[in-house]
Structure 1
Amino acid sequence: MSNARSFMVLAAVFFLFIGACTYTVNMIQSIEHGTRLAYTLKTDQDRKVKATLAVPGEETYTGAAIVNMVRNIQQSDMNIEVNGILYLRTGTYEDLDPSGVDLSKTYRATYERDTAGYIIKIVFRG
């Protein structure tokens, strides 16, 4: 009877050991699969971001584009300055006189930002 009981305990321990090993192998495979999937997703995302970024350069605008921006200034959250003339976004439509903008010229743009990084003023120089 003692031998039968020892054999049953040994069989139970053996099956528990095999079950624990199988569970461990499955967990390792799941973690490896998740890691590979995360790496693949991150790699594709990284590649897309690098493909769409442009090298920063000097932006130029035509006089007509600037006049259009000045006329629609109330819809934006920034002020516009053209060759020293300041157009405020809080001004009325009648006060906005973009006659000082030469339509045939191109202007270089520089941006002034607040501490959060939002554009508060665009400065155009011709």
Structure 2
Amino acid sequence: MSETMEKFILVVAEISILIVACMFALGGIQSQDAAVNITHKSAVNEERRLFTSLEITEQVTYTGAEVLQSIRQMKTLDANIRVVNKYFYSSDDIESIDVSGVDLSRTYVVSYIRDSQGKVQTIVFT
């Protein structure tokens, strides 16, 4: 084989290797771009879910029976309860609490008083 033919084959081989390397690099760049896009979309969706889950758009109401059930579960809830102007403390004995002020036929609107860490301190039924 002549010397020029050998040089030609080497040049063709080098160009082929360069093209294959460029194709692998392009594939890697496309994969990284897709991963960044997926991560960005995931973060945006997570933020949207987080923000919408923190906002309550409608008033939450409880029946008198549900308020009574909440009073019964004060120790589990680890929160004080206020019904209109009557306070029930989680440290009180549940069996001796006078719940006659809770109107079972009424509907109560609930709100929460939280501490600086976000833990519910008092559940307020008005």
Matches within 5 A, 1:1-126: 3=4, 6-7=7-8, 9-34=10-35, 56-125=57-126
Q: In structure 2, do the counterparts of structure 1 residues 113 and 26 end up closer, same or farther at CA, with 3 Å as the change threshold?
A: same
Cα RMSD (Å) of the superposition?
Answer: 3.6
Output one character per residue of 1:77-116: Cα deviation in whole Å (capped at 9) or x when no partner: 2110112221111222233221121222222222101112
What's the TM-score, normalizing by structure 1?
0.70
- Structure 2 residues without counterparts, runs of 5 or longer: none
What's the TM-score, normalizing by structure 2?
0.70
Aligned length: 125
- Displacement of 1:65 in angstroms is 1.4
Q: Give the Cα separation in 2 of the matches to 1:92 and 1:50.
A: 38
Q: In structure 2, do the counterparts of structure 1 residues 47 and 120 end up closer, same or farther at CA, with 3 Å as the change threshold?
A: closer
Q: Give the Cα separation in 2 of the matches to 1:59 and 1:40.
A: 32
Q: Give the Cα separation in 2 of the matches to 1:53 and 1:72.
A: 24
Work out whether residues 60 and 107 of structure 1, in 8 Å CA contact, stay in contact via their aligned partners in 2. yes
Work out whether residues 70 and 96 of structure 1, in 8 Å CA contact, stay in contact via their aligned partners in 2. no
The percentage of counterpart residues that share the same residue type is 30
